[in-house]
Structure 1
Amino acid sequence: MQTPIRALAAATLALTTLAAQAAPSTVVPPTVQLGPRPFFLVDDMADGALKTALQACAASRKAYTRHDFAIGHRGAALQFPEHTRESYIAAARSGAGIVECDVVFTRDKQLVCRHAQDDLHTTTNILATPLAAKCVKPFTPATFDGAGNLLTPASASCRTSELTLAEFKTLRGKMDGYNPKARNVAEYMAGTAGWRTDLYSGPTSGTLMTHAESIELFKQLGVKMTPELKYPAVAMPFDGFTQEAYAQKLVDEYKAAKVPPARVFPQSFYLPDVQYWVKNTAYGRQAVYLDDAETVADLPSAAELAGYKAQGINIVAPPTFALLTTDAAGNIVPSQYARDAKAAGLDIITWTLERSGILADGGNGFYYQSFDSAIKREGDMMVVLDVLAREVGIRGIFSDWPATPAFYANCMK
């Protein structure tokens, strides 16, 4: 039998637990802590004026602040499962002044944060749960020939639009990736790139979020917000839910949370979304049109860029390779696209830093394709930032580890 004091303590604990479950905990805006990576990159730079200036800043500066130049790409996805509460907090802690929630919808048309409507099989634990039965394409193991050579890679496809919001919220985020040689689900889920980490992907982390929850968290963290409306994997309208209703619902959730338009940068790769915001909402003044070019040859012309501006679009966001090239001496310099965008009066945001692994081994892929010949060492990332900031004149850069551009912005103003 409990004593009255013990009974009161037990009741108090129960009430406290229920309250914690009923309402999300508040978050005190964290002190910016850049960690060792930016300083490692500076020390690895070739000798020169930029290295000297950044080293002097590192030696003299006692504190750092969040900066809008640093945009948390899916949070802090270099080390934390993307689009999770933990990833968003890490982004703010590492200096991001703006944080991204990619927006998709569930079966009951609720907005949630995922990079794509059909990526649950690589970004969450769904395949290891009973909800795997709802995947549009169940897990299929890899097949091999008699010599052990891969014939068909392992595969699966799981969509938010197959789940209710309540079902979605039972999942946990994991580091994005999969093992194409997997013979079972456990092997399939163990596909994190070697230059990332699974340290922050445990069973008590990886908290998935609704779009509305991300807004409240970002308000508490004191960061601005850049939601990306993802083009659906399902045909629209979806059960009567039109593309315009989808775009409007995104904006409505900022209105409901009383977030002023100046703190929001809605973005989309789908031009009609951006046009809708520009024509119908105050949030369209800072709407960002994302460029999905795969190569330099795919980039829009000067006339097309001028056309965006004429439509009321003020910000474009191409991949980094679109903005840089090399000169005859092998130096990184602004590209023709960069000059054309500026001439059209467009502001520029670019993507994505800290997403290519080790740089010194060459062959750095998509983001570096137009200037990879100039990349010799990890520290050259700071040179890339410097050219983008001072010569191209970008207003911000998405990064999987916001501490890197936050350090540069704090030191170089």
Structure 2
Amino acid sequence: MTITRLTAAAALLAATALPAVAETAIDYGPRPAFLIDKMEDGPLKDKLASCLGQTPKRTDFSIGHRGAALMFPEHTRESYVAGARMGAGILECDVTFTKDKELVCRHAQNDLATTTDILVTDLAGKCVTPFTPANGDEPAGAECRTAELTLAEFKSLSPKMDAADKSATTPEAFQGGVADWRTTLYANDATIMTHEESIELFKSLGVKFTPELKGPSVEMPFDGFTQQAYAQKMIDEYKAAGVAPEDVFAQSFDLSDILYWIENEPEFGAQAVYLDDRYEASDEDEGLIDPNDPATFKPTMQELADMGVNYIAPPMWMLVTVEDSEIVPSAYTREAQAAGLDIITWTMERSGPLATGGGWYFQSLKDVTDNDGVYFELLDVLAQEVGVTGVFSDWPATVTYYANCMGL
């Protein structure tokens, strides 16, 4: 980056300086008690109910997934602050880049059509796929990438709840579609964030960092910007901010990113988190993982450990199965434990009401998922039998409450 571009970026950040965060005590809110009321009677319910009067404390076991994205627009200042106020000890900025190669917080490089108001602004013309109205069986859609915008243009957008009305015939109507178990109550005037801004905010909140290097939607190298330079730039922003490596848990679904950090930034690489998505592998590569068949784990857990990987983070359903109507650890879990890998998992409170099975995040235990209290039942197995070191949640208060009650 040239000195001119550095100066311009600094000026932009100064012009958009964020207000100070009001000091607030950690608060669970009503949801943990609501979930406890829904649980079936038994020792776990009794134990959790006994903690209703406890004083909430921050815990690294509770990780704010995109902040507190159940009710707040994800990757916004407001979502992050809400997650910290629910006791999350670690917060996540998903990291991608703009046209001028500045790092920003977005779940995907190409999600601007559903997470911001870009389609109803003058920047809509920069979308790689313009808005297309619904037509018969064809749903409405658009694709808009951060890589098509400068940092200044990105910062001009207003974030919203991640949703779209696929039946829309206008860009304005496309802004809707929020699930009926979410809300737009906290979406007004939400603040979009750069990666550097997230670092400063998290420091002020007293929490740790788990940035995820997102896979680009553009071909790499991008205007000379290589994947390795992208991975390095993310780490460099923590170093420039004086953040201790032990406070950073850098994530990626791309194993090559993890291995890059292990080799080139070993202090950060020691806590790099491999987001294991091999359950989505195609038949043309390594094939799908069956969480109960170790023969499908390629590379194996021991091979990952031998590469220097210390942390893996699969989705919750890969870590558990159902035996005799009870939630128990899967073979995947047992192999990870045998290899000495630390396990983090995602994502609690990502699904809506669990009475109908819980959807994708609960697919391996859908036969026993029939009420919202199962959130705590699953969390107990993950903590006590799987031995996870942290749990991502869209509403961190639930995980914070459990961790506080169990003394984690």
TM-score by length of 1: 0.90
Q: After superposition, what is the alpha-carbon deviation per residue over 1:203-250, rounded to whole angstroms, capped at 9, x for unaligned?
A: xx2211110000000000000000000010000000000000000000
CA distance in 1, matches of 2:234, 2:319: 29
- Equivalent position SS for 2:50: helix
Give structure 1 stretches of 5+ with no counterpart. 1-18, 145-150
CA distance in 1, matches of 2:118, 2:98: 14
1:152 to partner: Cα distance? 0.5
Matched, 1:222 2:222: no
| Structure 2 equivalent of residue 301 of structure 1 | 297
| Structure 2 equivalent of residue 330 of structure 1 | 325
CA distance in 2, matches of 1:261, 1:173: 30
Provide the aligned C-alpha RMSD in A.
1.5
Partner residue of 1:361 out of 332, 356, 363? 356
Report 1:322-401 matches (<5 A): 322-327=318-323, 329-362=324-357, 364-401=358-395
| Structure 1 equivalent of residue 270 of structure 2 | 285
Contact 2:95 2:107 in 1 (8 A): yes
1:293 to partner: Cα distance? 3.6
- Equivalent position SS for 1:337: helix
Partner residue of 1:410 out of 394, 404, 407? 404
- Equivalent position SS for 1:30: coil
Q: After superposition, what is the alpha-carbon deviation per residue over 1:279-337, rounded to whole angstroms, capped at 9, x for unaligned?
A: 1111101000001144773555286111111011100000101000011x210001110
Contact 2:289 2:297 in 1 (8 A): no
Letter in 2 for 1:199: L
- Equivalent position SS for 2:90: strand
CA distance in 2, matches of 1:366, 1:22: 38
Matched, 1:140 2:126: no
Letter in 2 for 1:344: A
Matched, 1:270 2:254: yes
1:21 to partner: Cα distance? 5.0
Q: After the TM superposition, which of the residue ranges 91-100 and 302-311 deviates more from structure 2? A: 302-311
Structure 1 residues 298 and 305, CA, compared in 2 at 3 Å: closer, same or farther? same
Q: After the TM superposition, which of the residue ranges 300-309 and 21-30 deviates more from structure 2? A: 21-30
Contact 1:302 1:340 in 2 (8 A): no
Contact 1:139 1:154 in 2 (8 A): yes
Report 1:6-17 matches (<5 A): none
Report 1:5-404 matches (<5 A): 23-58=17-52, 60-61=53-54, 63-144=55-136, 151-202=137-188, 205-281=189-265, 282-294=267-279, 297=289, 301=297, 304-327=300-323, 329-362=324-357, 364-404=358-398
CA distance in 2, matches of 1:298, 1:217: 40
Contact 2:315 2:346 in 1 (8 A): yes
CA distance in 1, matches of 2:261, 2:23: 30
1:159 to partner: Cα distance? 0.2
Larger radius of gyration: 1
CA distance in 2, matches of 1:122, 1:354: 20
Contact 2:84 2:205 in 1 (8 A): yes
Letter in 2 for 1:392: V
CA distance in 1, matches of 2:298, 2:327: 21
CA distance in 2, matches of 1:172, 1:303: 42
| Structure 1 equivalent of residue 9 of structure 2 | none
Structure 1 residues 25 and 289, CA, compared in 2 at 3 Å: closer, same or farther? same
| Structure 2 equivalent of residue 8 of structure 1 | none
CA distance in 2, matches of 1:172, 1:271: 33
CA distance in 2, matches of 1:303, 1:185: 44
Contact 2:356 2:369 in 1 (8 A): no
1:22 to partner: Cα distance? 6.0
- Equivalent position SS for 1:286: coil
* Number of corresponding residues: 383
Contact 2:313 2:346 in 1 (8 A): yes
CA distance in 1, matches of 2:144, 2:300: 36
- Equivalent position SS for 2:262: helix
CA distance in 2, matches of 1:267, 1:234: 20
CA distance in 2, matches of 1:235, 1:286: 28
CA distance in 1, matches of 2:250, 2:172: 36
Q: After superposition, what is the alpha-carbon deviation per residue over 1:263-289, rounded to whole angstroms, capped at 9, x for unaligned?
A: 000000001100000111111010000
TM-score by length of 2: 0.91
CA distance in 2, matches of 1:369, 1:361: 11
- Equivalent position SS for 1:340: helix
CA distance in 2, matches of 1:78, 1:335: 28
Contact 1:292 1:318 in 2 (8 A): yes
Q: Displaced runs of 4+ in structure 1, greater than 6 A?
A: none
